[in-house]
Amino acid sequence: MKRLIKFLINTIPRPFLIWWSNTLKPLIDIFYRGNKFKDPINNKSYRKFLPYGYVNQRENALSPGTLSLERHRLLWLYLKKETDFFKKKIKVLHIAPEQCFYEIFKSLDNITYTTFDLNSPLAMVKGDICNMPFEQNSFDFILCNHVLEHIIDDTKAMKELFRVLNLNGTAIVQVPINQNSKKTFEDNSITDKKERIVKFGQYDHVRIYGLDFFNDLKSVGFNVNPIKYSKTFSEDEINKFGLIKEEIIPVCKKLS
């Protein structure tokens, strides 16, 4: 199973991978039912989660029911427990929409939901994050997770996120972060896919962020609160939900 998943995510283009995974998801969901792990997104329990990773595969990372990863389940718990995302009337922009959230968010009566991406089949609006076709202060809530590490001019993308976010709005901007490094490492001369995997952890990544990422967000105007939300859960809950202890949720505000 590990080799199959690694082969699929490294060789199949993402639009086809989304279609393939959605097709097989109902069967996988039933096959892995049990009591050891629980996906808070669909509230179902499983005997195990699936391994996942482009290079080193993490055990019990991918939920069979929603195809959520650790960061998705943590974000869901944060949105549910700490925000009014599911209650307040808000305009939401979801960039590179994750399929574990897409149908749920689209069905919510309290949000006006817009998905955006250059290539994703789940995008309602297609375009470049560095030049988005939205007016200033258009959205009350932005979800932009594991996107910026793919973007050459990430500063321009951050400025666009700040521009289209409404005053007093919230943007959650997750990226893979090397928390042992103070500085982001990037080298635009690295274009070979195999070398990018070695240097950045994934063939389509162009950098590996350090802790200076939060200052980068602040430099374009955001008020930033890096939240290690897993710290609010017990060890048993972390294991049951399949979370990563040190995962950071960067909660960014556009203050008036």
For the chain, the domains span 2-68, 87-254
pLDDT tens figures, 1-42: 545 544 444 554 555 455 555 666 667 777 778 889 999 999
Span 87-254: which CATH code?
3.40.50.150
CB 54 within 8 A of CB 5: no
Give the largest Cα separation in the chain, rounded.
Answer: 50
Q: In a 10 Å sphere around its CB, with 0-12 CB exposed, 13-18 middle and 19+ buried, how is residue 116 labelled?
A: buried
pLDDT, mean over the chain: 90
pLDDT tens figures, 125-179: 999 999 999 999 999 999 999 999 999 999 999 999 999 999 999 999 999 999 9
For residues 216-237, average pLDDT: 97
**pTM score, whole prediction:** 0.88
Give the per-residue pLDDT at 185.
Answer: 93
Q: How far apart are the first and last CA of the chain?
A: 50
